Every structure is written in C-alpha cells, then in structure tokens.
Amino acid sequence: MTHRLLADRHLYLCTPDRPDLATFLEACIRGGVDIVQLRDKGLEARPLLARATVAIKVCRDRGVPFILNDRPDLALEVGADGVHVGQDDAPAGLARRILGPDAIVGLSTHAPAQLDASRDQPVDYVSGGPVEATPTKPGRHGTGVGYVSYAVANAGRPVFVTGGVTPNTIGPLLAAGGRRFVVVRWLTEADDPEARARALCTALRRALDNEVGAG
C-alpha cells in the first residue's frame, strides 16, 4: 500500500545543501518537483538541522513532503516527513522505530538481492539505480534499465528510479516500467532549475501520453 504522502508523487529532488537552498527549492517545486530530500554527507548534526529547517519550511508552505537523508534521529528532531537510508546507513527498522508508523521511510537498492531483501523491511518506497554511473555515487557502476524493470515488478511498493534522469532518458525508463524518478544533477547544476524541472515534467507527461495512445 502506497504511503498517503507518496500518492501521485513522481518527481523527487535529491539535493545537497547550497547557499540559495530556499530559493532553489521554491524554483524546483514551481517547476513540478513534488517531493524533496536533503542529502548532505558533509554537514555535522547541528548545521544539518539548521539547513533542514530552512528546507522543511519551503516544503511545508507548498505541500511537498520533505525527506532527510541518513539520519532518522535528526528527521525526528526537525519534524521531517520521513528519512531515506542507504544500504550502509541506519537500518530501515531502526528508522521506523525512531520515526513511528506514519513517517515515510525510503531505502536505496542497487541490485536484485537488495531489492528482494527490502520486501521484508518496513519501508514505504525504494529507490532503484543508479541506472547510469553518477558522480553523486562515486565508485558505483550503473545498474542499467533491466534493474528498473526488475525493481518495479518485484518491489511491492513504489520505486523511484535514480541515475541520469533527464528529458532524453525518460522514454527508455518509462519503457522499462519506471513511473517515479529521482533527479539530482539535472536540477542542482541548472542555471534555471524551474525551467528544467518543467521540461522534465513535460517530457514525462508526453511519454505517458504516447504510451497510452500506443496502447
């Protein structure tokens, strides 16, 4: 069963901290981002809490769920909607115990064995990828689109596809079964993040319309 806050959410921004965090998030949300994660491995607890407070205000004002990466304790403290953990982070079960039954708990998966193991964990969604190798995950090889198909078919919960998501790659990812997407560099490196988010949303809608028309 899909968590109520994830229903109809398809464009998930994952961003590090940045000096213009509030205005950047506002622009991305205006362009169509409908879920936000703050992921910054370089910040200590108190600075991360301060920046998460900035982000959560923007998200609350615009009705967008806010997820904090890695730290369920800090997610609880700041009042985040949930936490996202990786394979080497705090266990999903611990995150659930800290945040309670109503929070969103997400988990990264990169291979079929991890995806299979996630079915027994108390998570609301998984991310699948990175489809293409990305500098945000140094040393990790791309999974290819085949893993997208496997994850969507076997996760038993929403799958957010990660790695190289752009308007040009949406079509093949949709063909592989993807319907929800995590975006990082396409937006974080943009001069005009609102326009880029809108372009991605337009590409997604067009690809879905073409798929319906072909069917």
Contact present, 16 and 182 (Cβ < 8 Å): no
In order of 46, 52, 65, the CA distances from 179 in angstroms are: 35, 27, 18
Contact present, 53 and 79 (Cβ < 8 Å): no
With a CB cutoff of 8 Å and minimum separation 6, the contacts of 141 are: 133
Catalytic residue among 137, 179, 185, 198: 137
* Rounded-to-integer distance, Cα 175 and Cα 187, Å: 23
Characterize the bridge pairing of strands 35-38 and 104-109.
unpaired
Catalytic residue among 39, 62, 179, 185: 39
Q: Is 39 a catalytic residue?
A: yes
Q: Is 108 a catalytic residue?
A: yes
* Rounded-to-integer distance, Cα 159 and Cα 139, Å: 23
Catalytic residue among 51, 96, 108, 196: 108
Give the up-direction half-sphere exposure of residue 147: CA atoms within 13 A in the CB hemisphere.
24
DSSP, collapsed to helix, strand or coil, labels residue 119 as coil
Q: What's the residue count for the chain?
A: 215
Tokens of 138: 């140094």
The conformation of residue 77, written as its DSSP 8-state character, comes to: H
Any idea which residues carry the catalytic annotation? 39, 108, 137
